[in-house]
Amino acid sequence: MSIDIRRAAELGIANAIAAEKTGQWQEENKDAIESWNDYVRQNGLPLAKYRLF
């Protein structure tokens, strides 16, 4: 196999960092996301009547 170990490590680290940042953002914005989800459950999407699909 001709695997570039350095490149594989870089990609693995970059993916781990991206996943961690995503998790942190979701945790920091958990209350806002849940609030919006509650609103949509109760009222539907605000512009749903303009959707073409």
Task: Report pLDDT digits (tens) over 6-47.
Answer: 999 999 999 999 999 999 999 999 999 999 999 999 999 999
User: What's the pTM?
Assistant: 0.68
In one-letter notation, the amino acid at residue 48 is A
CB 26 within 8 A of CB 33: yes
Q: What local confidence, expressed as pLDDT, does residue 1 receive?
A: 83
> What SS3 state is found at 5?
helix
